[in-house]
């Protein structure tokens, strides 16, 4: 049995999301479903609905060419089609055609995407692609939605007659108009249309001179509207033809209705598919607006919300350009009762509402604004007690109302129930109310339900610390700036920072000190201890963040150093290689400079430079020998590598000559590799072979032949 009530919807501001969803609906059916949106009791169906919304969200975000969901519902058509001899109105055929075309395009879209979007593809199991509906309607209607002249032979004949009569009417009218304009009887407006007839606008003083039927006059009576006598029988004939046209159109639409009625089951499927997609599309648009996703759904009762946003607060802050702080909360069977404490206006209620609203959204088939690594589960009940709910109708005070609400919780709470209790135990004497709240807390704990509770009562915080499967949490407070941080921290209770908040709001210090003197010293010390613990935790948290940041910077610096070192070493190697090459050229240059300096150009002796030239030749020979040695070493090394990479010798031979082309000689029988035709070799010139194929001779390349015999 599901336990949800209207008060839960009001407490969690679910109506704000409903209003947004209503704006995203196209048709009435989806709108009605949104207005009556409630948590789904069948968890198997709920999973499917969530997956369908998530699949459509992926289609929208990944830029798929998804057909625009633009349609009109077919409620009237589905009522009239089963009626014998019924005739649908013209606009109905337009709606049916558009629906058929849209579903055809959707079927085409999902045809090869069944594995990508299986949950949405299921919607089309009873539908099938057909052009018969569209073709039947297109035979009768044109692109403007008007009935074609050739919709039937009878209609074509009628409209041809109408066209002929209308032309004669216009000729007669134009002749009469010119005639009476010359006489000066026609007013400035010249003509008008009344009762679908073209009439002369004649000055009333001359109306008896015209003759014909007077069918009206201007507001002042100065102008009379007269039907020319020659057009009276023609206009009457036109009326008969118009009546004939209406009757023939009725017959055509009646026949077309009967044709379309044979597709009644398919048209009913159109209505179901399109209205369901409308419903899913509205939820998808909300998800896109909230940056919501589908978290992992767990079978066991536990959840882990990572970077969870309160949807309504996020939308409001987005409009104001303000940042919204996300919260991360995890609960399981070992921490199923969470007590949140901390200062007023620190975010306790928002954190509690975030957990509740996201759970309610999920169980209504809506995606939630959390981190993709988040995990959630389903509860059979979600009940709240939030805010100052007085019942004037039943003359109940806030505390009386909360007691009645608590009594209901005690009746229905079980291990599959989530309770959200804000300002738990308030509304009565602090000592007495705190004691009763502690008893309620223990009773709910023993029922093994899940609960998120905000409180200022120290005894509730202490009880949560002592119970095995309960846990404390707090909203952080900056003790230096005396400002709330709106961040949730799990593991310890928080101080209410009563005096610090009072100081922020301008209460004189002497009054604050006087208030402290009136309190039990142990209570003041306890609150101070909690405040100091939170301060130390905040300090350690800040140190931890600074350490993590320093570690990150150190890792980045190390990576940058190693990368720079590698680049410098590579550059140094290049410089050394270049330096060696340049030193070699310098050495060669110095040697040749010495040859140039020793060369005697002015001496008259012929053989004076002979020893020098012999030394130059010897030097060049030695250097050339060095170069050849290096080249030989490189060639031998390359050959060794190539040989190591080659397969065995037999395989190599087979691979080099797979078609026995080396055996081909004059008189050999060969086969063309491409055409498989056999011929005899008559002549070989290098790699060109002349082959006789019967009476035909061809010159082909040796590589294109296969040796046969």
Higher pLDDT, 524 or 14: 14
Higher pLDDT, 667 or 360: 360
Q: What is the pLDDT of residues 469-498, one digit of tens each?
A: 999 888 776 656 556 677 777 767 655 666
Residue 380 in any domain: the answer is yes
Q: Are residues 204 and 330 in the same domain?
A: no
Give the separation between CA 14 and CA 17, rounded to whole angstroms: 5
Residue 411 in any domain: the answer is yes
For residue 353, the model assigns a pLDDT of: 93
Question: DSSP 3-state assignment of 90?
Answer: helix
Of 459, 479, 496, the residue that ends a domain is 496
Of 465, 496, 527, the residue that ends a domain is 496
pLDDT band at 313 (very low <50, low <70, confident <90, very high): very high
Give the separation between CA 448 and CA 469, rounded to whole angstroms: 9
Pairing state between β 197-203 and 337-341: unpaired
pLDDT band at 127 (very low <50, low <70, confident <90, very high): very high
Residue 529 in any domain: the answer is no
CATH number of the structural domain spanning residue 425 = 3.40.50.300
Q: Are residues 209 and 345 in the same domain?
A: no
Number of independent structural domains in the chain: 4
Average pLDDT score over residue span 83-94:
92
Average pLDDT score over residue span 451-457:
88
Q: Are residues 284 and 138 in the same domain?
A: yes
CATH number of the structural domain spanning residue 666 = 2.30.30
For residue 432, the model assigns a pLDDT of: 72
Q: How many CB atoms lie within 10 A of CB 372?
A: 10
> Residue 691 corresponds to which tokens in the numbers above?
């082959």
Give the separation between CA 421 and CA 380, rounded to whole angstroms: 17
Average pLDDT score over residue span 17-40:
95
Q: 681 and 690 in contact (C-beta within 8 Å)?
A: yes
Q: 237 and 163 in contact (C-beta within 8 Å)?
A: no
Residue 344 in any domain: the answer is yes
Higher pLDDT, 10 or 388: 10
Contacts of 162 (CB under 8 A, 6+ apart): 238, 241, 242, 245
Q: What is the pLDDT of residues 629-666, one digit of tens each?
A: 777 777 777 777 777 666 554 444 445 677 778 888 88
Q: Are residues 28 and 108 in the same domain?
A: yes
Give the separation between CA 358 and CA 381, rounded to whole angstroms: 14
Q: Are residues 239 and 267 in the same domain?
A: no
Q: Residue 270: pLDDT above 90? A: yes
> What burial class does residue 543 get, using C-beta atoms within 10 Å of its C-beta: 0-12 exposed, 13-18 middle, 19+ buried?
exposed
Q: Residue 395: pLDDT above 50? A: no
Average pLDDT score over residue span 243-248:
94
Of 477, 496, 515, the residue that ends a domain is 496
Strand partners, 233: none
Residue (of 503, 496, 448) closest to 470 by Cα position: 448
Average pLDDT score over residue span 535-550:
69
Q: Are residues 382 and 472 in the same domain?
A: yes
Mean model confidence pLDDT for the chain: 84
For residue 184, the model assigns a pLDDT of: 81
**Secondary structure element (H or E) that encloses residue 436, with its range:** helix 430-446
Residue 198 in any domain: the answer is yes
Percent share of the chain, pLDDT over 90: 41
Q: 326 and 400 in contact (C-beta within 8 Å)?
A: no
Kindly provide the residue ranges of all beta strands, DSSP E only, lying in 560-704, ordered along the sequence: 669-672, 678-685, 688-693, 696-701
Q: Residue 575: pLDDT above 50? A: yes
Q: Are residues 361 and 266 in the same domain?
A: no
For residue 703, the model assigns a pLDDT of: 81
pLDDT band at 397 (very low <50, low <70, confident <90, very high): low
Nearest-5° angle of CA 431, CA 432, CA 433?
Answer: 95
Q: Are residues 162 and 279 in the same domain?
A: no
For residue 501, the model assigns a pLDDT of: 65
Q: Residue 225: pLDDT above 90? A: no
Q: If you write DSSP's letter for every residue of 195-243 in order, what string do you get?
A: TTEEEEEEEGGGHHHH-SEEEEE-TTSSEEEEE-GGGHHHHHHHHHHHH
Lowest mean pLDDT among 82-91, 351-360, 565-574: 565-574
Contacts of 302 (CB under 8 A, 6+ apart): 330, 331, 332, 333, 375, 377
Residue 123 in any domain: the answer is yes
Q: Residue 98: pLDDT above 60? A: yes
Average pLDDT score over residue span 57-69:
90
Residue (of 341, 490, 329, 335) closest to 425 by Cα position: 341
Higher pLDDT, 74 or 585: 74
Q: Are residues 269 and 410 in the same domain?
A: no
For residue 484, the model assigns a pLDDT of: 67
Which residues span the domain enclosing 697?
Answer: 653-707
Average pLDDT score over residue span 94-98:
95
- Strand order from edge to edge, sheet including 375-376: 296-297, 375-376, 303-308, 327-331
Q: Are residues 471 and 325 in the same domain?
A: yes
Q: Residue 522: pLDDT above 70? A: no
For residue 661, the model assigns a pLDDT of: 80
Q: Are residues 349 and 368 in the same domain?
A: yes
pLDDT band at 375 (very low <50, low <70, confident <90, very high): very high
pLDDT band at 436 (very low <50, low <70, confident <90, very high): confident
Phi-psi group of 330: left, alpha or beta (phi > 0 → left; psi -120 to 50 → alpha; rest → beta)? beta
For residue 606, the model assigns a pLDDT of: 66
Higher pLDDT, 92 or 660: 92
CATH number of the structural domain spanning residue 42 = 1.10.1420
Residue 261 in any domain: the answer is yes
Residue (of 607, 640, 591, 476) closest to 542 by Cα position: 476
Q: Are residues 333 and 425 in the same domain?
A: yes
Which of 292-306, 381-395, 451-465 has maximum average pLDDT?
Answer: 292-306
Q: Residue 345: pLDDT above 70? A: no
Residue 534 in any domain: the answer is no
Give the separation between CA 707 and CA 681, rounded to whole angstroms: 10
């Amino acid at each position: 049995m599901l336990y949800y009530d209207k008060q839960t919807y009001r407490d969690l501001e679910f109506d704000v999301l409903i209003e947004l969803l209503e704006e995203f609906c196209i048709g009435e059916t989806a709108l009605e479903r949104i207005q009556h949106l409630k948590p789904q009791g069948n968890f198997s169906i709920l999973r499917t609905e969530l997956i369908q919304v998530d699949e459509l969200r992926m289609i929208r975000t990944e830029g798929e060419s998804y057909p625009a969901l633009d349609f009109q519902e077919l409620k009237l058509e589905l009522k009239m089609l089963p009626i014998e001899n019924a005739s649908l109105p013209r606009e109905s055929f337009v709606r049916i055609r558009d629906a058929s075309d849209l579903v055809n395009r959707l079927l085409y879209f999902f045809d090869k995407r069944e594995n990508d979007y299986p949950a949405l593809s299921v919607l089309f199991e009873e539908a099938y692609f057909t052009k018969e509906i569209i073709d039947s309607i297109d035979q009768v209607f044109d692109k403007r939605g008007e009935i074609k002249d050739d919709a039937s032979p009878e209609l074509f004949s009628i409209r041809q007659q109408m066209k002929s009569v209308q032309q004669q009417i216009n000729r007669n009218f134009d002749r009469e108009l010119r005639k009476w304009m010359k006489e000066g009887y026609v007013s400035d407006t010249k003509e008008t249309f009344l009762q679908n007839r073209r009439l002369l606008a004649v000055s009333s003083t001359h109306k008896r001179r015209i003759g014909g039927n007077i069918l009206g006059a201007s507001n002042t009576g100065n102008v009379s509207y007269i039907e020319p006598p020659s057009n009276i029988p023609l206009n009457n004939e036109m009326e008969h033809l118009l009546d004939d046209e209406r009757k023939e159109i009725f017959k055509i639409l009646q026949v077309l209705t009967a044709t379309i009625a044979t597709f009644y089951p398919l048209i009913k499927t159109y209505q179901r598919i399109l209205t369901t997609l409308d419903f899913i599309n509205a939820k998808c648009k909300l998800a896109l607006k909230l940056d919501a996703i589908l978290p992992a759904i767990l079978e066991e009762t536990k959840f882990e919300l990572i970077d969870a946003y309160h949807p309504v607060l996020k939308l409001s802050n987005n409009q104001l350009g303000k940042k919204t702080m996300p919260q991360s909360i995890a609960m399981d069977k070992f921490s199923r009762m969470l007590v949140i404490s901390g200062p007023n206006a620190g975010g306790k209620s928002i954190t509690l509402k975030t957990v509740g609203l996201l759970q309610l959204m999920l169980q209504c088939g809506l995606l939630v604004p959390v981190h993709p690594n988040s995990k959630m589960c389903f509860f059979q009940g979600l009940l709240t007690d939030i805010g100052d709910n007085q019942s004037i109708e039943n003359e109940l005070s806030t505390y009386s109302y909360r007691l009645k609400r608590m009594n209901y919780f005690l009746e229905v709470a079980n291990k599959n129930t989530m309770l959200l209790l804000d300002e738990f135990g308030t509304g009565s004497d602090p000592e007495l109310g705190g004691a009763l709240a502690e008893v309620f807390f223990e009773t709910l704990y023993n029922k093994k339900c899940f609960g998120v509770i905000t409180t200022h009562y120290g005894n509730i915080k202490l009880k949560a610390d002592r119970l095995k499967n309960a846990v404390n949490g707090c909203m952080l407070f900056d003790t230096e700036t005396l400002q709330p941080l709106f961040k949730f921290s799990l593991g310890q209770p928080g101080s209410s920072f009563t005096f610090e908040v009072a100081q922020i709001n301008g209460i004189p210090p002497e009054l604050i000190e006087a208030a402290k003197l009136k309190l039990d010293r142990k209570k003041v010390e306890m609150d101070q201890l909690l405040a100091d613990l939170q301060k130390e935790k905040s300090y350690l948290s800040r140190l931890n963040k600074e350490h993590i940041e320093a570690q990150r910077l150190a890792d980045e610096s190390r990576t940058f150093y190693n990368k720079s070192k590698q680049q410098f070493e590579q550059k140094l190697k290049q410089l050394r290689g270049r330096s060696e090459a340049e030193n070699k050229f310098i050495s060669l240059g110095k040697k040749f400079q010495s040859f140039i300096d020793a060369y005697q150009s002015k001496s008259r002796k012929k053989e004076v430079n002979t020893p020098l030239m012999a030394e130059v030749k010897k030097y060049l020979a030695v250097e050339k020998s060095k170069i050849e040695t290096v080249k030989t070493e490189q060639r031998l090394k390359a050959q060794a590598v190539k040989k190591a990479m080659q397969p065995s010798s037999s395989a190599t031979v087979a691979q080099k000559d797979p078609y026995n082309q080396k055996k081909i000689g004059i008189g050999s029988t060969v086969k063309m590799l491409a055409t498989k035709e056999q011929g005899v070799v008559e002549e070989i010139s290098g790699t060109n072979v002349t082959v006789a194929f019967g009476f035909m001779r061809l010159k082909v390349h040796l590589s294109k032949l296969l040796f046969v015999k």
